[in-house]
């Protein structure tokens, strides 16, 4: 990093990754000393939810000016997936800024052609996976497979299980053991079971 470069820190907390304290230690080694309220350090805390959001990272990217250097503790902190990291790296590069990996001491700034090439490879990989999944679904349909486990109770056995299920002297567990099936399968097939009138049988 050049002496005139403006260093901006970014840390992302996650369940499996390095702690914020460990990341701060690496950022300090890379030259970022101020971690106060007005420090040029953006931190995304751990968030619960189906989709990972990184509002502080996105805010940091919008703040970048030409020549700025984003200092991260490890490459994994930049995003959650390959595509997400690539998009973030591309956004940083478009602002004529770069990334400094404090863990390895490497600086990274992609050229536009490299960004397009990596995006192309990502599209190719995801497209290939979708094609394989579609081919497997088509093969299952052609073979008559509808998905799920085959029904264990059929014909006379199913009819006998229905009679046993209707017998209020038997519990759901009794019927499940008798026909060697799970109680959930019985509830799914025959619906709610009434309360046994006389309790469990001895």
Domains in the chain: boundaries: 7-115, 150-202
The rounded percent of the chain whose pLDDT value lies above 70 is: 85
Q: Note the pLDDT tens digit of each residue in 99-142.
A: 999 999 998 877 777 777 777 877 787 778 888 888 887 877 77
**Concatenated DSSP letters of the chain:** --TTPPEEEEEE--SSS--HHHHHHHHHHTT----STTSSEEEE----SSS---HHHHHHHHH--TT-EEEESSGGGG-SSHHHHHHHHHHHHHTT-EEEETTTTEEE---HHHHHHHHHHHHHHHHHHHHHHHHHHHHHHHTT--SSPPPS--HHHHHHHHHHHH-TTS-HHHHHHHHT--HHHHHHHH---PPPSS----
Q: Note the pLDDT tens digit of each residue in 20-55.
A: 999 999 999 999 888 877 778 999 998 776 566 889
7-115 falls under which CATH superfamily? Answer: Resolvase, N-terminal catalytic domain (3.40.50.1390)
Question: What per-residue confidence (pLDDT) applies to 50?
Answer: 59
Is the pLDDT confidence value at 16 over 80? yes
């Amino acid at each position: 990093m050049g002496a005139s470069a403006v260093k901006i820190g970014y840390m992302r907390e996650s369940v499996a990754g390095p702690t914020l304290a460990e990341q701060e230690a690496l950022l300090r080694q890379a030259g970022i000393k101020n971690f106060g309220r007005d420090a040029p350090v953006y931190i995304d805390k751990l968030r619960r939810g189906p989709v990972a959001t990184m509002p502080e990272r996105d805010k940091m990217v919008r703040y970048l000016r030409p020549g700025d250097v984003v200092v991260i503790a490890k490459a994994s902190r930049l995003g959650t997936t390959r595509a997400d990291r690539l998009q973030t790296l591309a956004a940083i590069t478009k602002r004529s800024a770069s990334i400094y990996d404090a863990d390895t001491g490497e600086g990274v700034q992609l050229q536009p052609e490299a960004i397009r090439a990596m995006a192309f490879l990502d599209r190719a990989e995801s497209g290939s996976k979708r094609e394989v999944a579609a081919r497997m679904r088509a093969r299952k349909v052609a073979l008559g497979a509808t998905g799920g486990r085959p029904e264990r109770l059929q014909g006379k056995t199913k009819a006998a299980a229905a009679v046993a299920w209707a017998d209020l002297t038997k519990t759901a567990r009794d019927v499940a053991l008798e026909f060697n099936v799970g109680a959930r399968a019985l509830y799914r097939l025959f619906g709610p079971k009434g309360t046994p009138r006389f309790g469990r049988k001895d």
